[in-house]
Amino acid sequence: MLEPTLKLLGSGVEFKPQLLAMLQSSEFFGDLPAGEMAALPQYVQAYSVEANTVIFREGDRGGFMCLVIDGGAEIFKQNHKFGSKRVGSIEPGKTVGEMALVDGEQRSATWICPQPSRLVMLTREQFVRMIRENPALSVNILLKIVTMMSRRLRQTSGQLVDYLQD
């Protein structure tokens, strides 16, 4: 699952103050209640990645989501007609891989970090543990994921209308 160019920086517990500062400044986790934010580090790990690291490929089995702390990422989608096409970028503070965290299905796109980056990873196993141990935190994360996916679906549906013929 993980490429050899991912270097474990440590568990969230090992550098909790720095991790909390990073998470609080992120769009995804930043507005969690203080108690839930304080519990989050026990469920995540931080990694550094080298430039041009493929984090996952389209079609890989999913099992984690990541928050980009610094650096960045690009998302590519396979197109049978034109090959691989860049469909987006992920800036620091944004997440990627949320769908796989929820459903564990195959990845819908390829994620590459074109520059050195730091990531915080929440695995499906840790998320299941969080559901058992801290239901309020897991529900808040699920609500964030569902809201984000709903927003993306609405945006995609709006774009699709432009391509439909009468």
pLDDT in tens, 135-144: 999 999 999 8
Q: At what angle do helices 135-161 and 124-133 cross, to 10 degrees?
A: 130
* Interval 23-57: pLDDT, tens: 888 888 888 898 898 999 999 999 999 999 999 99
Predicted confidence (pLDDT) at residue 3 exceeds the cutoff of 60: no
pLDDT bin (cut points 50, 70, 90) of residue 22 is confident
Alpha helix segments (H runs only) across 16-97:
16-24, 34-39
Supply the pLDDT for residue 23. Answer: 81
Nearest to 16 by CA among 35, 44, 54: 44
Q: What Å distances lie between residue 83 and 57, 70, 86, 127, CA to CA?
A: 14, 29, 10, 34
**Architecture, CATH, for domain 6-161:** Sandwich (2.60)
* Interval 67-94: pLDDT, tens: 998 899 999 998 877 788 888 899 988 8
User: Average pLDDT of the chain?
Assistant: 86
Predicted confidence (pLDDT) at residue 4 exceeds the cutoff of 70: no
What are the domain boundaries of the chain?
6-161
